[in-house]
Amino acid sequence: MEDTREVSAELHRLADAAPTNHFDTATVLTRGHRGLRRRRFLGVGGTIAGVAAAALAVTLIPNLTGTGNGDDPGVAATQTENSQFSPVPGVPRGEDGAGQRISKQEAERRCALRYPDAKKSLTDGTGFRSVSSHSYDLKSGQQKGGGVVLNSSSPFFCMIPGGDKPSAALVAAAKADPLPKNEADQLRNCSVNAWVDMTKWHIVVSDRLALTEKNYRGFSREMLIAVSPSGKTAIACQLPVDVVRGAGFGWGVTALRLDDLGTDYPRIPWPDGTQGKEIAAILPEGTDCNGNVCGRSLPTGWGQAPANTAKVVVQIGSGPAYESPLKDGWFTFTVMDKHSHTNAEPLKVRAYDKDGKLLSKLYPEK
């Protein structure tokens, strides 16, 4: 009897809050049962605190729709499907298809869907995740080095896709405007590169470098970190991403499943072989080096600093310091350093608290 009264009250509440166009008994009853099941779940499992957008630390609600190693993708996440994307066979839609732990075999299956002309296997690695870059096993006669256009029929790297294949119109729009200025178009381009519908995500932090110098137009770029509406998934995205300049987590576009941060995510590799606790992908791209002297450098990076970080400072040797954009613990930067220095001078990326105390060296220093 108690269940009946509770369901009845729930039906009246739902009818008042969200009336349907016509009285659909089956629909309203289903809603009532769903609400009842939700309250029972909370009663058994204890109170689960709501997670705000600022709570982007590792301690988050477990992803109850997670798929383990990815060989059994499971049921796609419930979401309003965007007609600009089509489903990828065997891959969950939306954020559930991002940052999945998957087998090498599954990664190769997805790469074959994205790059059907790339008849190569992937190199072995410590782990495979969807929405990350992984190198192909180079065959005899192929040479390493250089970037590869993502739409090339024979790429060096695979950007392992998620579960939302962008339409031809979206791909064309991203190609026509590879470095957009507004957030909606930036999320569109990141969606195209990730094969994850990020159009309703929000950008937490970003840094843009727009070079006007003739010889450096190719290095105009933006680094951004976007978070899903649920707060469970973040994606670091470099624009434009028409060229992947390296492989591994941290390059191009990288999904981070915040309730499943393993050692395969980009953590600081120290000279002694150990890894730091913080998430960071620092790419010390050098330019204008002639012998031991470098006229300019282009360091790029992103990550999640310690919780009490007040600023992240980027500096090469004794050159000028650059303060990275920082919000909710996330930082990202893309810098043109015009200070002349030797190529032996270290790149320093350091986190400080509000009192100027050094909290962490986010890039290995000898």
DSSP per residue over 317-363, as a string? TTS--EEEPEETTEEEEE--B---EETTSPEEEEEE-TT--EEEESS
User: What's the confidence (pLDDT) of residue 33?
Assistant: 45
- Segment 286-291 shows an average pLDDT of 72
Q: Where are the alpha helices (DSSP H) in 85-244?
A: 104-114, 168-176, 183-194
Q: Given this model, what pLDDT does residue 250 score? A: 53
> Which of 89-103, 217-231, 254-268 has maximum average pLDDT?
89-103
> How do residues 325-362 score in pLDDT, each as one tens digit?
999 999 999 988 888 888 788 889 999 999 999 988 88
* 144 pLDDT higher than 70: no
Residue 67 has pLDDT above 50, yes or no: no
Return the pLDDT at 74: 38
Helix 168-176 / helix 183-194 crossing angle, nearest 10 deg:
120
Q: Residue 2: which pLDDT band, with cuts at 50, 70 and 90?
A: very low
Mean pLDDT of 83-96: 95
Whether pLDDT at 47 is above 50: no
Please write down the HEC assignment for all residues of 74-104: CCCCCCCCCCCEEECCCCCCHHHHCCCEECH
**Bridge partner list, 237:** 224, 253
Mean pLDDT of 313-326: 93
Predicted confidence at residue 268, as pLDDT, reads 61
Instruction: For 308, list phi and psi in degrees, rounded to 5.
Output: -95, 20
Instruction: Work out the pLDDT band at 131, boundaries 50, 70, 90.
Output: very high
Note whether 36 and 6 are within 8 A (CB).
yes
DSSP H or E run through 128: strand 128-129
178-216: string of b/e by CB count within 10 Å (b at 16+)? eebeeeeebbbbbbbbbbbbbeebebbbbbbbeeeeeee
pLDDT at 133 over 80: yes
Highest mean pLDDT among 34-38, 130-134, 135-139, 326-330: 326-330
Instruction: Please check the confidence at residue 73 and state whether its pLDDT lies above 50.
Output: no
Average pLDDT on 37-50 reads 35
Give φ, ψ of 110 to 5 degrees. -70, -35
| 49/359: higher pLDDT | 359
- Contact in structure between 352 and 310 (CB atoms under 8 Å): yes
State residue 356's pLDDT score.
Answer: 95
Long-range contacts of 267-270 (CB under 8 A, 24+ apart): 268/361, 268/362, 268/363, 268/364, 269/364, 270/364
Contacts of 81 (CB under 8 A, 6+ apart): 93
Percent of the chain having pLDDT more than 90?
Answer: 36
Q: Which amino acid is at 282?
A: I
Residues 34-53 have a mean pLDDT of 36
pLDDT digits (tens, 9 = 90+) for 33-42: 444 343 333 3
Residue 126: pLDDT above 90?
Answer: no
For helices 2-17 and 25-45, the axis angle rounded to 10 degrees is: 120
Q: Name the 3-class secondary structure at 202.
A: strand
* Mean pLDDT (whole number) for 8-13: 48
Answer whether the bond into residue 19 is a cis peptide, omega within 30°: no
pLDDT of residue 124: 80
d(CA 81, CA 237): 22
Binning pLDDT at 50, 70 and 90, where does residue 235 land?
A: very high
Task: Count how many Cα atoms sit within 13 Å of the Cα of residue 165 in the half-sphere of its side chain.
Answer: 12
Residue 286: the pLDDT is 64
- CA-wise closest residue to 235 among 249, 245, 219: 249
Phi, psi of 128 (to 5 degrees): -125, 135
* pLDDT for position 366: 66
Alpha-carbon separation of residue 241 from 33, 127, 178, 205, 238 (angstroms): 46, 23, 8, 18, 6
The pLDDT value given to residue 160: 92
- The answer on pLDDT for 297 being more than 60 is yes
- Mean pLDDT highest for which of 110-119, 200-209, 270-279, 302-311? 200-209
CA pair distance 225, 333, nearest whole angstrom? 11
pLDDT for the residue numbered 75: 37
- CA 314 to each of CA 90, 110, 169, 322, 350: distance values in angstroms, whole numbers, following the listed order: 42, 37, 39, 5, 7
Judge contact between 131 and 194, C-beta under 8 A: yes
State the number of CA atoms in the 13 A half-sphere of 88 facing the CB.
29
